[in-house]
Every structure is written in structure tokens, then in C-alpha cells.
Structure 1
């Protein structure tokens, strides 16, 4: 298996990830002692969902698979559930690509 399993309950896919994926339902108070630094789960995190491994400021990238998959829409503390209530996907966002092209060199024209 690629990645690193934390305490048999969460999977980190790449060293630069700031979230882990729950391999089972996590309860508030569960501890991911194998994380560096260790993290205490702050709230229920359902199987397959993400838990923050570090504090993530509003506007900061959310990294999974070694890639940016979203942006925090509000501050997320280590141990909190990361989902649509506090993270907006940036993957497949054509509107963001158009904005980046318009703001970049070449003066506002999109390709």
C-alpha cells in the first residue's frame, strides 16, 4: 500500500499532505499518535472522510495525494473534520483556470 497508515485508522498518502483519510469512523478524542506531531481527533470523522493533521488557515491549500485538492474556506484546527463545510474543491475548476489565465501574463485573454 502506498502512503502511511496512522495508528491503523487513517491514511496519509504523501509526506506533504495536511489531511489524512479515515480508514474507519473516527470519534472525538481518538488519537493519531503516529502523526508528526500527534493529533487528537476533535469531532466525529466518518469513514473515507478527511481529518486535518495540522492547523489550516482560511484560504490555505488542503493537500491530499501530495496535491492541492481544495482550499480552506475557514480556519481548520488540527484534528477537525475537513469536508464541504470548511473546504472548497479546487480540482476541475475551469472558472479558477480562467481567472488565473486572465490575471497572468498576456493581459486578460483566456485560452
Structure 2
């Protein structure tokens, strides 16, 4: 079962595509560009449509989604964490 998707192997987050992803779930994420699967364990509940971190990131790191810079880390993120407004902000403002 695919739990999350990402477009590019350099993406640092994937998007949850199923409901009910709870902490402790072993997630399978599909890298679309390479038709390859990767795995990460959810450390927090991940709502459908939200991002899950694929690697540890520190404050100031750039977050990549769909191969594009979507913002910067403003609070430390561990692989498997829910990546959202509490730890990522746009660089535009």
C-alpha cells in the first residue's frame, strides 16, 4: 500500500495520500519520477494531504516538495514528523 507520494528523489517531504496515518505506522512512499518506493516510520499522526518529513532537518534548512523549494525549517524536524506550519514557513515573507 502506498501511504505518501513525492515527485523527486531530492524531496525532503512527501504528501500523505491515505487517511488514518498514526504515529508508529511504517509508511511506504512512492517516488513518482523514479517509480521507486522508500519507507519512513511516522513519529506523529499525519492527516491526509499533509506532509511527512523524509529526513531530519534543522532550523534554516530548505524544504523540497515536488522538486521545488517550498520554504525553510523554523523548528527542528525529524524523519517521520508531521511537517506543516508549526515547523515550516515560506521564504517569501
Q: TM-score range by the shorter chain?
A: 0.7 to 0.9
Q: Number of residue pairs matched?
A: 84
The 5 A counterparts of 1:1-111 are 7-25=1-19, 26-33=21-28, 34-35=37-38, 38-90=39-91, 93=92
Structure with more of its chain in strand, by fraction = 2
User: Larger RCO: Structure 1 or Structure 2 (Cα < 8 Å, ≥ 6 residues apart)?
Assistant: 2
| 1:46 CA displacement | 0.4
Segments ≥4 residues shifted beyond 4 Å = none
**2: CA distance, partners of 1:89 / 1:31:** 29
TM-score (norm 1): 0.71
Residue segments in structure 1 that go unaligned for 5+ positions in a row: 1-6, 96-111
2:2/2:27 contact within 8 Å kept: no
Distance 1:71 1:57 in 2: 9
Query: Does the 8 A contact of 2:11 with 2:66 survive in 1?
Result: yes
